[in-house]
Amino acid sequence: MIRINEHYRKLQASYLFSDIAKRVAAFQSDNPDTEVIKLGIGDVTRALPPACIDAFHKAVAEMADDATFRGYGPEQGYPFLREAIAEHDFRKRGADIAPEDIFISDGAKCDTGNIQEIFATDIRIAIPDPVYPVYLDTNVMAGRTGEFTDGRYAGLIYLDSTRENGFVPDLPSDPVDLIYLCFPNNPTGATISRSELQQWVDYARDHRSLILFDAAYEIFIQDNTLPRSIYEVNGAKEVAIEFRSFSKTAGFTGTRCAYTVVPLECTAYTAGGDPVSVRDLWHRRHATKFNGVSYPVQRAAAAVYSAAGQAQVMERVTYYLANAEHIRSEMEALEYACVGGENSPYIWIDSRTDSWSFFDMLLNAAGVVCTPGAGFGRCGQGYIRISAFNNAENVREAMARIRNALS
């Protein structure tokens, strides 16, 4: 008899964004004349930068000629892309990351979900609340939790992010082995200062734990005093893995390209306490289960680092941040307390009521889709997240409709 992985039965019925998509589809079929505006899932709407498209076309032409055709590429990614990343995203900012530390992949969602499998099943895991659901669900699937009761899985250490702590969790009071952090944060849009991040790195060093740092939204940081990478903080290379993505920076949500940084120095331990290179483990996993991102996509991603690519990417970032500023100022004018939207494309809004009720109200009364904060965890109850990823006209229209619905 074929049997299932019983841990899947502990999961919530469906993935948050699938659940929302189903509700929106049901609303749309009952209200075919309403033009729904989606400010829910953080999916970009602006086309790929022209520099990326040019590189894409050239690479496709290479694939059409036997003389320049490429078959399987290096599993870790082509050196031209890893070298550009190491130079532009890290060394230029004083973080000594080598191309060999970089693993190109098809998404930060996959990498943040897959990374847990190289660690023991009985480790103590600290996960923020609210949180991007992938970190949580993949640990549930792997059997690292007990049952889900009262909005939480048994066996995990939750790091509350609340108004009181400025949405930056406090260090855990009990020792933990694996720590998930995301800044600028999804969903709250909060940022972490260099000194706060240093405290986490020091904690990880003191406890021989490891930080999984999701920096998928770093490009939205406008305040230059804030760290964009955990490796800008002293001592991080031994105790941190960082995840980055071209999705939100250069519009690759549909094209797929991301990368994970696992420095040579990054260390985990055997049951007997012997140090092991995490980079070697991740390399072994990557080479076994992944065959690389396609050559044209990697060429398109590398074009992000050209002078034209950089200017075009920044133009898109500025565009989405202007949306964020508009959303935040409109909600504040309606006297809703907001976080984020300044160094982040997400605005986290205190709805002063149940998250899902507010979600339903915005959908029914304004035809606008947001994300209910409760979907990100117990501490998200009472909040909603509005995403700035849409066309400026749609965002203005959505906010005008919200203003009418709420006033």
Binding site for ligand MLT (CB under 6 A): 41-43, 109, 132, 186
Closest separation in Å from C-beta 369 to ligand MLT: 11
Q: Respond yes or no on whether the N-terminal peptide bond of residue 187 is cis (omega within 30° of 0).
A: yes
If one counts every other C-beta atom within 10 angstroms of the C-beta of residue 178, the result is: 24
Task: Give whichever of 227 and 380 is closer to ligand MLT, judged by the CB atom.
Answer: 380
Are 122 and 146 in contact by the 8 Å Cβ rule? The answer is no
* DSSP secondary structure, 384-404, as one string: EEEE--S-HHHHHHHHHHHHH
What is the C-alpha to C-alpha distance for residues 123 and 115, in angstroms, rounded to an integer? 14
Closest separation in Å from C-beta 113 to ligand MLT: 10
Closest separation in Å from C-beta 143 to ligand MLT: 23
- The two structure tokens encoding residue 8: 């899947």
Residue 400 amino acid letter:
A
Closest separation in Å from C-beta 1 to ligand MLT: 35
- The two structure tokens encoding residue 334: 């309606």
Task: Give whichever of 371 and 381 is closer to ligand MLT, judged by the CB atom.
Answer: 371
Closest separation in Å from C-beta 310 to ligand MLT: 22
Task: Give whichever of 42 and 340 is closer to ligand MLT, judged by the CB atom.
Answer: 42
> Between the CA atoms of 250, 221, 223 and 264, what dihedral angle is there, to the nearest 10 degrees?
-100
- The two structure tokens encoding residue 243: 């995840």
Task: Give whichever of 42 and 227 is closer to ligand MLT, judged by the CB atom.
Answer: 42
What is the C-alpha to C-alpha distance for residues 305 and 226, in angstroms, rounded to an integer? 22
Closest separation in Å from C-beta 228 to ligand MLT: 18
Are 279 and 262 in contact by the 8 Å Cβ rule? The answer is yes
Are 282 and 115 in contact by the 8 Å Cβ rule? The answer is yes
Closest separation in Å from C-beta 370 to ligand MLT: 11
Task: Give whichever of 138 and 186 is closer to ligand MLT, judged by the CB atom.
Answer: 186
Q: What are phi and psi of 165, to 5 degrees?
A: -100, 20
Task: Give whichever of 132 and 203 is closer to ligand MLT, judged by the CB atom.
Answer: 132
Name the residue with the smallest CB distance to ligand MLT. Answer: 42
Closest separation in Å from C-beta 109 to ligand MLT: 4
Q: Label residues 242-270 b or e (16+ Cβ within 10 Å = b).
A: bbbbbbbbbbbbebbbbbbbbbeebbbee
If one counts every other C-beta atom within 10 angstroms of the C-beta of residue 319, the result is: 16
Task: Give whichever of 186 and 188 is closer to ligand MLT, judged by the CB atom.
Answer: 186
Give strand pairing partners of 350: 383
Task: Give whichever of 248 and 328 is closer to ligand MLT, judged by the CB atom.
Answer: 248
